[in-house]
Amino acid sequence: MPIFKAPVQDTLFVLNDVLGYGRYANLPGFADAGGDVLEAILEEGAKLSENVMHPLNRVGDIEGCKRAPDGSVTTPKGFREAFDQYREGGWMGLAVPEEFGGQGLPYSVHVAVGEYMSSANMALMMYPGLTQGAIAALLVHGTEEQKAKWLPKMVDGTWTGTMNLTEPHAGTDLGLLRTKAVPNGDGSYKISGQKIFISAGEHDMAENIVHLVLARIEGAPEGVKGISLFIVPKLKLDAEGKPGERNGVSCGSLEEKMGIHGNATCVMNYDEATGHLLGPENGGLKAMFTMMNEARLGVALQGLSIAEIAYQNAVSYARDRIQGRSLTGVKAPDKKADPIIVHPDIRRVLLTIRSITEAGRALILWTALQADIAHRSEDEKERQAADDNVGLMTPVLKGVLTDKGFDHAVMAQQVFGGHGYIEEHGMSQFVRDARIAMIYEGANGVQALDLVGRKLGMHGGRAVQAFFKEVGEFCEANRSDEAMAPYTKQLKKGLNDLQNATMWLLQNGMSNPDNAGAASTDYMHLFGLVAFGYMWGRMAKVAQEKLAEGKSDFHESKLVTARFFMERVMPETSARLARISSGSTTMMLMPAEAF
């Protein structure tokens, strides 16, 4: 049975010490989130994750969801009750404005707690996770009437939400979708078609399910310009706004998946279901992106979450499992062998995971804080700069943290040797669950293209230039600090590689877009490395300041981990740059039939 302990101290280190949470007390919602309150919220979230959600993780994997012939779906034993506790704790509305029943706390706190919960039970957390995406879309694109009608029950968790985008022939390319919307004449529409891969599409944990469905209104233009977003409830609301008559939507089947068995991944059939337009006609893509961006950060968080819990279990195993002797002489003379944590190759694995996970946590919390600033600051320039950062970092976080999350689950599994391959130990589940995060909400190749094709050039490269400037200034500011040299030297080299890669893209990606496409994945990872390196620079700086105040094992290990990152992870930047600047000529030469 895997173990799990929410890394509250690490979160507090990032939010309070590194990001200086205290400085933002002027932002709405932040006054309540400082100091003790913050810690209390994190501790409560930790308790729920460790004691309620975590014990159900393996149950969910083994039992999975079951669909009855009538289309109803039963979730694994215990999931309903755990979701009740989540709902009753007010977690769904943590960062939702108070007028819709939320607590109005910072989004960054929501993300911080969300990490623990996804570590503990990723499949279970997808039910509220999808709801959060739907809430975000309603908040931005709903009319006042729609918000009043749908949000309160979603925010208190009585109803859940879904995102219905994919069809069998339309995944990345939503322009191909065929689901039809025919006006009823009363402002509502009849929605007909089939959607696949719908997470939490049907289940037994909520009174109603609010599907947000992309469809094409009869006569709309072809492609993405002709798609609209609709609210399609499982049960239609009666005059009093209570769920009543069954709508024409049902779960046709459940997918057999590699992992996240506890989440119901549904084929959803729409047969003249009543739907209500959300946002303008043919404006579905924009509304969908609101959900999607929220969801992408949520998925990035899943990558981080699985890496964290997999790491904890690998460490625990490496401390207990005795096998062989240290290369530099016996370390546990009282035992028949040394614990495998004495071996450098095991430490290499553990510190690789840890150094990227801690940097990833800092980066996602930094980005979430930027989102808070973008939504809550009174200063327009500050809002804009923060919004730039969120847009820039979203594809990086989604692509890199989920690629790494999976790699890290695999590396942690490897520490267990043969025992890692046996389902009983739970390491296989982490790998199988983590795998989906690289695919859904835009496969990671699509994230890379979003970064290179859209985010890089936006507003004349404003976002990326500002980020380079910030990292460059950090290196410059610490130039005379001897103690910071081990961190800033590699960071500067990494930044240099990233800037060269960016320059190469500007010079070669415009004239031949295939060069941009060929570079995209390596560029995304290069970007991630530098952003992680920047976070380690900042964490090392704070750790040194704290150590100057007195000895602390916690801060000592931050410095060791930072150094490991710079020595062992950052050197990858040069290989990434070399690949990027090799261009697309060779790969485009091969005729499709020669592959």
Closest CA to 313 of 428, 408, 412: 412
Q: Contact between 421 and a second copy (CB under 8 A)?
A: yes
Q: Which is nearer to a second copy, 14 or 38 (CB)?
A: 14
Q: Which is nearer to a second copy, 35 or 571 (CB)?
A: 571
Q: Which residues of 247-257 are buried (b: 16+ CB within 10 A; e: fewer)?
A: bbbbbeebeeb
- Of 36-44, 48-56, 76-84, 437-445: span binding a second copy (CB under 8 A): 437-445
**Looking at the DSSP assignment, which residues form a beta bridge with residue 193?**
270
Q: How far is the CB of 31 from a second copy (least distance, A)?
A: 35
Q: Which is nearer to a second copy, 169 or 242 (CB)?
A: 169
Q: Which is nearer to a second copy, 94 or 170 (CB)?
A: 170
Taking the CA atoms of 415, 419, 421 and 423 in sequence, report the sign of the dihedral they define.
Answer: negative
Q: Tell me if residue 160 falls in helix, strand or coil.
A: strand
**The residue count for the chain:** 595
Selected binder of a second copy within 25, 330, 483, 588 (CB under 8 A)? 588
Selected binder of a second copy within 69, 328, 460, 480 (CB under 8 A)? 328
HEC profile for 264-318? CEEEEEEEEEEEEEECCCCCHHHHHHHHHHHHHHHHHHHHHHHHHHHHHHHHHHH
In this structure, what are the phi and psi dihedrals at residue 154, rounded to the nearest 5 degrees? -80, -40
Site for a second copy in 300-319 (CB under 8 A): 315, 318-319
Q: Contact between 3 and a second copy (CB under 8 A)?
A: no
- The site that binds a second copy (CB under 8 A) totals a number of residues, namely 98
Q: Contact between 324 and a second copy (CB under 8 A)?
A: yes
Q: Contact between 582 and a second copy (CB under 8 A)?
A: yes
Q: Which is nearer to a second copy, 146 or 512 (CB)?
A: 512
Site for a second copy in 540-559 (CB under 8 A): 553, 556-557
Q: How far is the CB of 536 from a second copy (least distance, A)?
A: 13
Strand bridging mode 227-233 / 235-237: unpaired
Q: Which is nearer to a second copy, 279 or 303 (CB)?
A: 303
**Tokens matching residue 13:** 């280190």
The torsion of the CA quartet 378, 381, 382, 384, rounded to 10 degrees, works out to: 110
Q: Which is nearer to a second copy, 18 or 529 (CB)?
A: 529
Strand bridging mode 159-164 / 208-217: parallel
Q: How far is the CB of 426 from a second copy (least distance, A)?
A: 11
Q: Contact between 283 and a second copy (CB under 8 A)?
A: no
Q: How far is the CB of 327 from a second copy (least distance, A)?
A: 4
Site for a second copy in 192-251 (CB under 8 A): 196-197
Q: Contact between 153 and a second copy (CB under 8 A)?
A: no
Selected binder of a second copy within 20, 241, 280, 344 (CB under 8 A)? 344
Selected binder of a second copy within 242, 348, 459, 469 (CB under 8 A)? 348
Q: Tell me if residue 499 falls in helix, strand or coil.
A: helix
x/- track of binding to a second copy for residues 501-540 (CB under 8 A):
-----------xxxxxxx-xx-------------------
Are 370 and 383 in contact by the 8 Å Cβ rule? The answer is no
- Of 80-88, 104-112, 423-431, 465-473: span binding a second copy (CB under 8 A): 423-431
Distance CA 142, CA 163 (A): 15
Are 390 and 471 in contact by the 8 Å Cβ rule? The answer is no
DSSP assignment of 333-366: TTSSS-BGGGSHHHHHHHHHHHHHHHHHHHHHHH
Site for a second copy in 390-409 (CB under 8 A): 406
Selected binder of a second copy within 171, 279, 284, 399 (CB under 8 A)? 171
Distance CA 327, CA 324 (A): 9
Selected binder of a second copy within 79, 91, 100, 440 (CB under 8 A)? 440
Selecting among 222, 256, 441, 545, the annotated active-site residue is 441
First to last CA, the chain: 44
CA distances from 384 to 237, 260, 365, 375, 381 (A): 39, 37, 18, 10, 5
Selected binder of a second copy within 435, 455, 492, 538 (CB under 8 A)? 435
Q: How far is the CB of 491 from a second copy (least distance, A)?
A: 15
441 is catalytic: yes
Q: Contact between 384 and a second copy (CB under 8 A)?
A: no
Q: How many CA atoms lie within 13 A of 464 on its CB side?
A: 27
Q: Please give the positions annotated as active site.
A: 441
